[in-house]
Structure 1
């Protein structure tokens, strides 16, 4: 009744093998511009803010990479400080609990002493 038709599109390509991927990785190279030292970063940032149109693209990327690294370092510092803050709050709560237990124990001992004296 119905006839099986031939596929009208080509089948998708097969996935590369591990050996093919490793061979591709050996030929893959990333050229990143060298990161400028921190001494001329302030000059570059000043130049970027004052005259960005005349700044060479490689210099612009150096400033961007430096700024990006600073932002990542700041984010890591914020995360570290948040975790330390949580640890301190936990320690404070634990100390407060222990202090209250000691106060309660002292009050019990004082009430026992008062009862024994009377």
Structure 2
């Protein structure tokens, strides 16, 4: 009643030969960015944020990675600032407590001095 039809799929592509691969390797270029210290990429960052479609893909990823590292560093710095802020608050509280103790001690000494002078 129903015939099973064979799928109409194209055959898979044929693997390249060694000679074809060697010929391709001669035309292949690798552009690596120089390894070194941080480079000022403010123009590239601006281009990444405003017109990312105009950047080449390797440049886009390089700028993106550098920007991502800066964001991580900023968040770490914010965390460190929060820790230091809390430490400063604790130190301030201790200083206030010590200042109150000193003021109380001075008042007691003044009261004792007045009592001694009355006699």
How does the TM-score come out when normalised to structure 1?
0.61
Give the corresponding residue for 1:111. 111
Unpaired stretches in structure 2, ≥5 consecutive residues: 1-31
Aligned-residue offset at 1:95: 0.8
Alpha-carbon distance change, 45 to 67 in structure 1, aligned in 2, over 3 angstroms: same
Separation of aligned partners in 2, 1:59 and 1:47 = 11
Give the corresponding residue for 1:47. 47
The correspondence of residues 1-118 of structure 1 with structure 2, limited to 5 A, is 37-39=38-40, 41-118=41-118
4+ long deviations beyond 3 Å: 33-37
1:70-95 per-position Cα deviation (integer Å, ceiling 9, x unaligned): 01111111111111111111111111
- Structure exhibiting the larger radius of gyration computed from Cα positions: 2
Unpaired stretches in structure 1, ≥5 consecutive residues: 1-32
Aligned residues: 85
Separation of aligned partners in 1, 2:64 and 2:34 = 10
Give the corresponding residue for 1:30. none
Separation of aligned partners in 1, 2:43 and 2:116 = 81
How does the TM-score come out when normalised to structure 2?
0.61
Aligned-residue offset at 1:34: 5.5
